[in-house]
Amino acid sequence: MSATTATARLTTRDIQNLKRRGEKIAMLTAYDYVTAGLLDQAGIEMILVGDSLGNVVLGHETTLPVTLEDMIRHAGAVHRGTRRALIVVDMPFGTASDPETALRNAVAIMQRTGCQAVKIEGGATVAPTVARLTEQGIPVVGHIGLTPQAVHQLGGYYRHGKTAPAAQKLIDAALALQDAGAFAIVLEMVVPELAGEITRLLDIPTIGIGSGPECSGQVLVVNDLIGLNVDRTPSFAKPKADVASVIRRAVGEYVAEVKAAEPAKAKGRALADG
C-alpha cells in the first residue's frame, strides 16, 4: 500500500477483510516512537512490538530476557507514534504460562500501552489461553512454527513442518488457534508449501516470516528491512536500504570534523602572540 494520510485506526476486522479481498497484509516490527511514526506514515497496516527487541535493541542472544515492563515501555512509545496501524504486542517469555496469568498480563499491556492486540507463541496447547483472552475482549494473534521463546526446547532455529507428522501438528495447531478466537496467526520458518496449505485452510489471515509468499501477509523485523544491523541479516530478508552504512559514514565524518577542529584556547593564544 502506498503512503497515506488516513487517520482512522485499523481494526481486526479490517485486517481480516484484507484476506477476504485477496489483498496482502504488510506488517513490520517497531520498538520506538520515531520508527513507528515513519512506518505509519508509509502506510504499514500492522506493527508488531516484538520481543525481538531483546535482540535488536537490548543486545541479548535470545528473546528470553525480555520482561513485561520492557514490552509495555516500548509498546507505549510505538502507539504514541502512530495513528493508523493496528498495534500488536508480544507477550514475552513466561507471561502467558496459563490462561489466568496471561489474562492478567494482557490486561496490563492493553491498559498501559493503548495497543489493539497481543501475540502469543505456541500451538494447540495455548488455545485455552487464547480463548480466555478473547472471551475478555482482548484480540490475539497466534504464532506457530519457529517460536523463539522455545528456542532451547526446540534445539535451535530451523524450518518447521518438513515431515508429515510435523506438518499435521502445525495444521492442527492453526485450526485450534482459529477455533479459540485468534484473529490472525504468524507462521515463522514454516515450509512454504505447508504455509500455503494452512493459509487456504484458515478463514483468518496468516502472516509469514521466512515461510514463503503464499501467506496472507508478511512480517519482518524492521532492522532487517532497512539494513540497520551490527551483525548479518537473516537469509530470508532482503534489505531495501543500508542504513547502517549511512550511520557509520555520518558518524565517521562527524568524528573527523571534531578531531580536525582547532581548539579555541590554542587559537586565542596564537592571535595574542602575533
Express each pLDDT in 71-93 by its tens digit: 999 999 999 999 999 999 999 99
pLDDT at res. 74: 98
Helix/strand/coil for 140: strand
Looking only at the bridges linking them, the beta strands covering 140-145 and 117-121 are parallel
Q: Output 211 or 155, whichever has higher pLDDT.
A: 211
pLDDT at res. 5: 46
Cα 85 to the chain's mean position, in Å?
13
pLDDT at res. 274: 53
Measured between alpha carbons, how far is 141 from 144 in angstroms, rounded to an integer? 10
Q: Name the residue among 11, 80, 10, 3 with its Cα closest to residue 39.
A: 3
Domains contained in the chain, CATH given: 12-241 (3.20.20.60), 243-274 (no CATH)
Measured between alpha carbons, how far is 192 from 95 in angstroms, rounded to an integer? 30
Q: What are phi and psi of 85, to 5 degrees?
A: -65, 145
Looking only at the bridges linking them, the beta strands covering 217-220 and 25-29 are parallel
Contact between 86 and 47 under an 8 Å Cβ cutoff? The reply is: yes
**What residues form the annotated binding site for 3-methyl-2-oxobutanoate?**
51-52, 90, 119
**What residues form the annotated binding site?**
51-52, 90, 119, 121
Q: Is the pLDDT of residue 6 over 60?
A: no
Measured between alpha carbons, how far is 194 from 198 in angstroms, rounded to an integer? 6
Contact between 45 and 25 under an 8 Å Cβ cutoff? The reply is: yes
pTM confidence score? 0.90
Question: Is position 23 annotated as part of the catalytic site?
Answer: no
The identity of residue 214, as a single letter, is E
Q: pLDDT grade, residue 21 (50/70/90)? A: very high
Residue found by looking up cell 565517521 in the block? 252
**What residues form the annotated binding site for Mg(2+)?**
51, 90, 121
Q: Is the pLDDT of residue 61 over 60?
A: yes
Express each pLDDT in 137-161 by its tens digit: 999 999 999 998 888 888 777 799 9
Cα 82 to the chain's mean position, in Å?
15
pLDDT at res. 2: 43
Active-site entry in 188, 193, 253, 257: 188
CB atoms within 10 A of CB 68: 19
